[in-house]
Structure 1
Amino acid sequence: MSGLLFKHVKLSAELRTCFITFTENISIMSNRLKDQTSPYLLQHANNPVDWYPWGEEALLRAKVENKLILVSIGYSACHWCHVMEHESFEDQEVARVMNDNFICVKIDREVRPDIDQIYMNAVQLMTGSGGWPLNCFCLPDQRPIYGGTYFRKPDWISLLNNLADFWKNKPDEAEEYAVRLTEGIRQSEQLIPVKSEAEFSVKDITEIFEPWKRSFDLIEGGYNRAPKFPLPNNWQFMLRYAHLMNDNSAHVAVSITLEKMAFGGIYDQIGGGFARYSVDGEWHVPHFEKMLYDNAQLVSLYSEAYQQTRNELYKNVVFETLEFIKRELTSADGGFYSALDADSEGVEGKFYTFTKDQIISILGEDADIFNIYYNITSEGNWDEEHTNIFLRKFDDTELANKLGIGENELRQKIEEARGKIFEVREGRVRPGLDNKVLAAWNGMMLKAYTDAYRVFGVDDYLKSALLSAEFISEKLMKNGHLSRVYGAFDASDAFLDDYAFSIDGLIGLYETTFDEKWIKLARQLTSHTISDFYDEQSGMFYFTSARGEELIARKQEITDNVISSSNSTMAHNLFKLGHFYSDDNYLNISDQMLRTVQPHIVRYPSGYSNWASLLLFRIFGIYEIAITGSATEVKRLELEKHYIPNKILLGGTSGTLPLLQDKRHTETKIYVCRNRSCSLPVTEVVDALKQIDNPSTTPGSRN
């Protein structure tokens, strides 16, 4: 910026130096991000870089001054984003090069995933990989020409100078490259719709699973690679596949994975909740940030796994994780915050790690058993940092036998010690909180609470689910449209994932309460989603609304990643709502989406696992179980003790859904329906289960 001030003014060298120092001090105090609400953008508000938020001012200035745009994207809990900020964006020398040659735009990927999708796609096309921080250089009209992720300071300065020189001396080459790259972005991930209506079969699902299982790590769980991500949608599919296909290899793979994650350092053994991933292949050293979306999905996964197996470890994980969510990520008005940072006091993981001497000073003579239980060493089990991450190697029964004490005594000692460690930890400098409240992730958390309540019957979980639904409907909705970010309402700013996960959560809440206002709201949001996001030509949904900002590409999110894709989630929603409402249009859209994606699942099953779950339901059909009468809640809770993954629940003492017509009785009745046909009503869950265990139809039917 300093050079621009003096472009047309002659000043003495001494005065010029004074002015440069003055303007640099101003830039240190604040830049254009100071009035933003995103915690990530505010983290950069005092950089000497002249950051702009994404918007008309930055884009217009780039065109007027004919400068390249640097689009720099990250999120508040991103460790390497912090590192690059400290090394480069807080440095006066680097800032001067950036300010003189580029219009610098800083973006929170969680607020603007639509922009992140485009430039992440660009960087992946250019380099074959991606990640955050994401740094992409664009022409003044937003089309990308070069990009990457983290750069060391010397490399960053060199890149800045080279790109500035390239744009100055070879603009035609930059234009040619931008044309090719932008076309690649627009064409990537576009699927050709499959119009044939061939039925799905068991063969289709076995062709997906058989090659997939070769990548399982049957020693440490997960896949044979590092780093290791939890990938809840992958293991949720495995649970369902193991049950419906009676496949022991799938059951073993998911059991090992869930146990190893729960025992590992990726799980906060002291305070509950999961970190985003482990940097190694043993779930040992986590990347310490805790994301709401991971923990919401993992609550749902471990709840479902407990429903299938009755493994007490899974129950403990759910209870502890929800306690963490309540304690650290829940706002006073019922919304859920986005994340906790990986760093505290500038050090990754400092809040969570302890030396052996620190533990001894806290626990005294009780430290020995605690240190054995959590694999604490004098040197530190985290070799690089010479400190300890809490992790387990043995279950309580096995370890109690090794130590020669009773299992109950062991658990009591560990719980008492955990409480003391937790109390000390609470007095430390805490990791930063990203207090954004996002519609999509709140929808996931709503679903997590409904899943946990359905399995465990804890009243507080239902209360939290109802508060969450009320928050979404009252705080995140206006005139039938969702806002992505609480407190920053703009009718056009919600994306497909906001609608998809909110609808999913609302459907789950209906199945939990049988209160039809929630499924009616889900249907209302679905109608809006079809009108504003659906593309009839491809049969898929765009990620951005037709009423939203026009970017250089309008993307469709198809593949499942650490979060299930918004399209696969909508396909599930439409499948369920199609059955709830006997709506063939919903079912036809869902079927079309699945037919188009199915050929791709075999090639990359872990990237289409939520689609594969839908394929399972299409192959095996879905049970519509209606419970009516005065004891519906008692019978519903009794039914939920049994694992039936391919079911929807409906009922209550009254109801307007098509399947409930002529089924209202004072006496409690259970109807098991399939293919739009119901078996004779029964009064006991055990009799309903017989109708499910011996279905009159076979795999391959639509419904």
Structure 2
Amino acid sequence: MAQEKKANRLIQESSPYLLQHAYNPVEWYPWGEEALQKARQEEKPILVSIGYAACHWCHVMEHQSFENRKIAEVMNKYFVCIKVDREERPDVDALYMDALQAMGVQGGWPMNVFLTSEAKPFFGGTYFPPQQWVKLLENVANAYKQNREELQESAEQFAAHLNQSELEKYGLIKSNPEVHEDDLKLIYKSLSKRFDKKLGGLEGAPKFPMPTNYLFLLRYYSYTGEKEALHQVELTLREMAYGGIYDQIGGGFARYSVDAEWLVPHFEKMLYDNGQLVSMYAEAYQVTKDPLYKDVVGETITFVERELMSPEYGFYSSLDADSEGEEGRFYTFTKDELQDILGDEEPLFSKYYHVTAAGNFEHGRNILHRRISDEKFAEENELELEVLQEMVANWKEKLMEIRAQRVRPSLDDKILCSWNALMLRGLADAYYTFGNKHYLHLAVRNAEFLLSKMKQGDKLFHNYKQEKATIDGFLEDYALLIRALIRLYEVTFEEKWLEEAKQLTNYTLAHFFDEQEGLFFFTDNSSEKLIARKKEILDNVVPSSNSVMATNLHFLGLYFDEEHYQQLSDSMLARVKDLLLKEPSFLSNWASLYFHKLSPTAEVAIVGRQAPEMRSEFSVFYIPNMILVGTENKSDLPLLQDRVPINGKTTVYVCYNKTCQLPVQTAAEALQQLQGRNKQESKFPSL
């Protein structure tokens, strides 16, 4: 008779990842004082195992080792075992990931790190197969018993490494506040050396979307007219949209492609990717007017609304890669399945999406992907474009009906403030570009949700589930929400969003800012103290919280005429400038800020009853170094003071550095002023 499974302490948690381990025979603790105190009292080493709900190899290691009673007995006997959801506790994850890399181990998840009873790391790794895992556990336990002093000494050295300043770590001792066009060109030149000029993205595999790289390239193109920069953006966005990394039937992007061709994805779908990619494709559409980008934005938002939105208009975190025990099964098809579903249209479908009898994935299954445009495919197959597009729409509808009957990938239904902020900004950007009021409705409802459910007093919380927000906000929560609220103001002219952004900014300055180094810590000074307090400088799949805050301070300094904000932004950029010039692919969001500093940001104030309508006319053009303010009546914002409609007509004031052009009454005239200014200062492409 099978032994009844007994719940461990994780049963009390709300994280789906932790709950997945709640019936393991391992006596898991969540990260917290109870586990740390037990380790100190019993003088036991700590095993911290870190992962996340959509992580394929996390599931594999759980099934092979953490569900195995004999292995669990070894873990329970020798260690205090702590399970961490890296998405809930990015501070804990970043700390021990840094330690792991200092040990010479390439990071990844699952991450398993061994700590002393004082939570200082001395050994670690990622995935281990069961036999190797048991051997490792026994060796570590034995070493901790027999060579405690040696391990303690090693742990102290790693702790000292973790407490090293990020500025010291990267040799950023001096600050260089000057900005030069030649440096911007050097940033681009360094980044361009890594371009994959055939398949898009950066060279090599795996390939991650990395939207901040391409947002910088668009800004660089707007400043210099460098066609190679725009071509790399167009190549990358097209190849991603045609590839298997994009869900050709249901919309939305997977986390990354395991190959260089964007073909075979790791099928998990993350909110943070999709939010940023909506922004990326919407912004690129302003430059190119490529209808493919509009389709991608629309389908991705539809996917997020359909599969990741809560009844309260919060957005869930992710969808798993696996279903029915197989990665990608939910999204892939065999040729025989497609024949049954589509009948006579299957051969054309298979040609369009490159389906074969052998398949291009496991078990003869096919990852659907494209290689050419609809126009070219229609021409090659002697079809009218409209007929083809109608057929494609019908195919998608039929396959979505089939997918609705399949076992769905697991949903990680926790709501994270920072990732919601990325989606909120994506929705606001999509509304700005395309004018679809449904996008604005979703954005406003999400902002209202975040500020009512994940903010208490002046403080943000990082997580939310079942009416509870339990983890103090990190800098990424504040920084990304501030950025999204600024954008929401620009597309609505409702000043409450801007005021919220300023209040949150002032909170970060009081609780996160390090006066000594001039950068922000990742954690609130009133939050739990770990063995080191870190700063996040490098941009990754999500832009670094310091680069986002420096950008926020730049723009809020303009909106509120706060010179202190501007000076802080300047000094933050100066701190990282030397590294930015050397390694732009790791600081591409900082690179975009460098662009904004190089020439004065245009301040466009629209005053009068037609302010919202006139604002929408500006979105037809790509003007990345511009802020928009507007009011139908009057406003206390510095940029709107003493600005009135002339002769009762809606009026536009274009200003730079507190110096204004003559007021005009059409968007076309204002755009001419913007174009004229940009032609003086750069090689801005003709509007």
Deviations 1:102-130 (A, max 9, x none): 00000000111100010000111112420
Aligned twin of 1:13: none
SS of the equivalent of 2:408 reads coil
Q: 1:620 pairs with 592, 599, 603, which one?
A: 599
Aligned twin of 2:122: 145
Whole-angstrom CA distance in 2 between matches of 1:480 and 1:169: 50
Q: 1:430 pairs with 408, 413, 416, which one?
A: 408
Does the alignment pair 1:655 with 2:635? yes
Q: 1:603 to 1:489 in 2, by over 3 A?
A: farther
* Conserved 8 A contact 2:323-2:408: yes
Aligned twin of 1:339: 318
Whole-angstrom CA distance in 1 between matches of 2:222 and 2:78: 59
CA RMSD of aligned residues (A): 1.5
Whole-angstrom CA distance in 1 between matches of 2:230 and 2:314: 35
**Larger deviation: 410-419 or 519-528?**
410-419
Q: 1:308 pairs with 267, 270, 287, which one?
A: 287
Aligned twin of 1:173: 150
Q: 1:83 to 1:616 in 2, by over 3 A?
A: same
Aligned twin of 1:267: 246
Whole-angstrom CA distance in 1 between matches of 2:602 and 2:270: 34
AA aligned to 1:480 is D
Does the alignment pair 1:572 with 2:551? yes
* Conserved 8 A contact 2:464-2:470: no
* Conserved 8 A contact 1:481-1:491: no
Q: Residue 671 of structure 1: CA displacement?
A: 1.0
AA aligned to 1:148 is G
Q: Residue 491 of structure 1: CA displacement?
A: 7.8
Aligned twin of 1:66: 43
Whole-angstrom CA distance in 2 between matches of 1:115 and 1:418: 42
AA aligned to 2:224 is M
SS of the equivalent of 2:598 reads helix
Deviations 1:461-488 (A, max 9, x none): 1111110111111111111111111247
AA aligned to 1:673 is C
* Conserved 8 A contact 1:242-1:251: yes
Q: Residue 199 of structure 1: CA displacement?
A: 2.5
Q: Residue 696 of structure 1: CA displacement?
A: 8.0
Structure 1: stretches of 5+ with no match in the other structure? 1-20
Aligned twin of 2:101: 124
Q: Residue 29 of structure 1: CA displacement?
A: 2.3
SS of the equivalent of 1:436 reads strand
Aligned twin of 1:51: 28
Whole-angstrom CA distance in 2 between matches of 1:535 and 1:687: 45
Q: Residue 493 of structure 1: CA displacement?
A: 1.0
* Conserved 8 A contact 2:537-2:546: yes
Q: How does 1:277-676 map to 2 (within 5 A)?
A: 277-382=256-361, 384-487=362-465, 493-653=472-632, 654-665=634-645, 666-676=648-658
Deviations 1:670-693 (A, max 9, x none): 111101111111111111111111
The sequence identity of aligned pairs, in percent, is 49
AA aligned to 1:537 is Q
* Conserved 8 A contact 1:201-1:699: no
Q: 1:682 pairs with 618, 639, 664, which one?
A: 664
AA aligned to 2:87 is E
Whole-angstrom CA distance in 2 between matches of 1:485 and 1:621: 38
SS of the equivalent of 2:420 reads helix
Whole-angstrom CA distance in 2 between matches of 1:159 and 1:193: 38
* Conserved 8 A contact 1:84-1:152: yes
AA aligned to 2:22 is A
Q: 2:222 pairs with 243, 261, 276, which one?
A: 243
Whole-angstrom CA distance in 2 between matches of 1:625 and 1:168: 68
**Larger deviation: 281-290 or 680-689?**
680-689
TM-score computed with the length of structure 1 as normaliser: 0.94
Q: Residue 195 of structure 1: CA displacement?
A: 6.4
Whole-angstrom CA distance in 1 between matches of 2:307 and 2:640: 41
Does the alignment pair 1:255 with 2:240? no
AA aligned to 1:660 is L
Q: Residue 409 of structure 1: CA displacement?
A: 1.2
SS of the equivalent of 1:145 reads strand
Does the alignment pair 1:155 with 2:122? no
Q: Residue 190 of structure 1: CA displacement?
A: 3.1
TM-score computed with the length of structure 2 as normaliser: 0.96
Whole-angstrom CA distance in 1 between matches of 2:644 and 2:360: 61
Q: Residue 193 of structure 1: CA displacement?
A: 6.3
Q: Residue 697 of structure 1: CA displacement?
A: 9.4
Q: 1:466 to 1:215 in 2, by over 3 A?
A: same
Whole-angstrom CA distance in 1 between matches of 2:326 and 2:606: 54
Equivalent residues, number: 676
Structure 2: stretches of 5+ with no match in the other structure? 683-687
AA aligned to 1:659 is L
Deviations 1:381-439 (A, max 9, x none): 22x44210010011111111111111111111111111101110111000000000111
Q: 1:110 pairs with 79, 87, 96, which one?
A: 87
Whole-angstrom CA distance in 2 between matches of 1:160 and 1:687: 71
* Conserved 8 A contact 1:137-1:145: yes
AA aligned to 1:36 is E
Q: Residue 198 of structure 1: CA displacement?
A: 4.3
Q: 1:627 to 1:212 in 2, by over 3 A?
A: same
Whole-angstrom CA distance in 2 between matches of 1:573 and 1:237: 16
* Conserved 8 A contact 1:329-1:336: yes
Whole-angstrom CA distance in 2 between matches of 1:128 and 1:603: 24
Whole-angstrom CA distance in 1 between matches of 2:669 and 2:644: 19
Deviations 1:6-40 (A, max 9, x none): xxxxxxxxxxxxxxx9xx946x3211111110000
Whole-angstrom CA distance in 1 between matches of 2:469 and 2:338: 50
Q: 1:657 to 1:196 in 2, by over 3 A?
A: same
Q: Residue 699 of structure 1: CA displacement?
A: 5.0
* Conserved 8 A contact 1:628-1:651: yes
Q: 1:157 to 1:151 in 2, by over 3 A?
A: same
SS of the equivalent of 1:435 reads strand
SS of the equivalent of 1:339 reads strand
* Conserved 8 A contact 1:39-1:434: yes
* Conserved 8 A contact 1:619-1:699: no
* Conserved 8 A contact 1:194-1:595: no
* Conserved 8 A contact 2:269-2:318: yes
AA aligned to 1:672 is V
* Conserved 8 A contact 1:359-1:367: yes
Q: 1:196 to 1:365 in 2, by over 3 A?
A: closer
Whole-angstrom CA distance in 2 between matches of 1:613 and 1:385: 44
* Conserved 8 A contact 1:620-1:698: no
Deviations 1:236-280 (A, max 9, x none): 111111121111111111110000000000000000000000000
Q: 1:579 to 1:160 in 2, by over 3 A?
A: same
* Conserved 8 A contact 2:177-2:570: no
Q: Residue 698 of structure 1: CA displacement?
A: 5.9
* Conserved 8 A contact 1:375-1:381: no
